[in-house]
Amino acid sequence: MKILAIETSCDETAAAVVEDGRVVHANVVATQIELHRRFGGVFPEVASRQHVLAIQPVIAQALAEAGVSARGVDAIAVTHGPGLAGSLLVGVNAAKGLALAADRPLLPVNHLEGHVYSNWLDAPGRAQGHPDDNFPVVVLIVSGGHTELIEMRGHGCYRRLGGTLDDAAGEAFDKVARLLDLGFPGGPAIQQTAEHGDPGAFELPRALRHAADHRFDFSFSGLKTAMLNLTRRLSREGRDLHDAHLLADLAAAFQQAVADVLVEKTTDAALATNARQVCICGGVSANRALRATAAARLDALGIPLYIPPLIYCTDNAAMIGAAADYRWRNQPWPDGLAIDVHASLPLPEEENTL
């Protein structure tokens, strides 16, 4: 099945053509990072207006690169939540118009399920291969808006194990980058600053590490406060917070603290559920420290680990095409014109119906 997929849940306008949930014929992402940089974060009104400008050219480019017309695909898929309502509306309305004009079915996709299925996409030069159909699979979704630990018992069959009690992991990166004056988006800025830093230079908390009642939950607000207190103490001591060595150490220590809790809880979840494989996905899964920490821990346990190539970690439409294929492969297709947007939309927790 060949699917044209559209994704506009946050600040990337994206369209892709994906076949059989794996083969990516085109993957176009128009990022709005430059527009939002001066606000230090995503400005919802600006995001939706930019989606309006970008959506048609992005879709046209994806179809052209894939060498198909809208009538040449079997279905159109679109993210209908979770995300910014105004941004989601642009993608959903464009998809409805196209589905009507081309007389194709329209399939709604949960953005989080998209991140999960980013692991199943073929990618040029991919070293790790794909997860196979050996369940249960423990999935950690770490993005700007979400930090979720999930047990996947089959395709489309999820059980939520835990998640963040406050900030999402990506949000913590973005806020700490702002504190250190490193710019937006925070994740890549912190990673780059941390490159020659010492992760052990400062002692930082690993929240909820031993909390039996929150075994698979995360909390990043304490770490954020610890970073604030640390920078205040350093300035009181007369240290220059713009000094490159000091910044590198601060960024490296913070990044490792986040990576440690994410990996520790994911590993614990994998052991508790007897997982056959582990997947990590979402924007923060692009982080080198997280990738290296996870690879070392899971390798030591002999549990196969999958993390998508960088282009599929952050928001894209190829992952939406993959998720649509798996979710709707054996299900009656919905009435596309009735699709609505949902700012908050959990992963469906249900028995395996696929």
Q: Rule CB under 5 A: which residues touch Zn ion?
A: 143, 315
Interface residue with ligand KG4 among 284, 322, 323, 339 (CB under 6 A) is 284
Tell me which of Zn ion, ligand KG4, none is bound by residue 174, counting a contact when its beta carbon lies within the kind-specific cut-off of 5 to 8 angstroms. Answer: ligand KG4
Is residue 88 within the footprint of ligand KG4 (CB under 6 A)?
Answer: no
Cβ neighbours of residue 89 under 8 Å, at least 6 residues apart? 48, 341
**Contact between residue 344 and residue 42 where contact means Cβ atoms under 8 Å apart:** no
Is residue 308 within the footprint of ligand KG4 (CB under 6 A)?
Answer: no
Q: Which stretch binds ligand KG4 (CB under 6 A): 45-53, 143-151, 209-217, 335-343?
A: 143-151
Distance CA 304, CA 137 (A): 10
The pair of structure tokens assigned to 260 is 């440690």
Cβ neighbours of residue 126 under 8 Å, at least 6 residues apart? 309
Is residue 287 within the footprint of ligand KG4 (CB under 6 A)?
Answer: yes
Is residue 144 within the footprint of ligand KG4 (CB under 6 A)?
Answer: yes
Distance CA 308, CA 26 (A): 17
| Residue with Cβ nearer Zn ion (110 or 143) | 143
| Residue with Cβ nearer ligand KG4 (82 or 336) | 82
Q: Which stretch binds ligand KG4 (CB under 6 A): 64-72, 154-162, 226-234, 277-285?
A: 277-285
Distance CA 327, CA 158 (A): 12
* DSSP secondary structure, 306-343, as one string: E---HHHHSS-SHHHHHHHHHHHTTSPPP-GGG----S
Q: Which residues pair with 160 in a beta bridge?
A: 150
Identify residues 2-21 at the interface with ligand KG4 (CB under 6 A).
Answer: 10
Tell me which of ligand KG4, Zn ion, none is bound by residue 131, counting a contact when its beta carbon lies within the kind-specific cut-off of 5 to 8 angstroms. Answer: none
Is residue 282 within the footprint of ligand KG4 (CB under 6 A)?
Answer: yes
Interface residue with ligand KG4 among 95, 161, 286, 322 (CB under 6 A) is 286
Please state the closest distance from residue 173 (CB atom) to ligand KG4, in A: 4
Tell me which of Zn ion, ligand KG4, none is bound by residue 48, counting a contact when its beta carbon lies within the kind-specific cut-off of 5 to 8 angstroms. Answer: none
| Residue with Cβ nearer ligand KG4 (210 or 344) | 344
* Selection from 186, 168, 178, 165 nearest residue 228 by Cα: 178
Cβ neighbours of residue 292 under 8 Å, at least 6 residues apart? none
Tell me which of ligand KG4, Zn ion, none is bound by residue 188, counting a contact when its beta carbon lies within the kind-specific cut-off of 5 to 8 angstroms. Answer: ligand KG4
Fill in the amino acid letter for 252. Answer: A
| Residue with Cβ nearer ligand KG4 (55 or 286) | 286
* Selection from 51, 49, 69, 56 nearest residue 8 by Cα: 51
Q: Binding residues for ligand KG4, per CB under 6 A?
A: 10, 143-145, 170, 173-174, 185-188, 191, 282-284, 286-287, 314-315
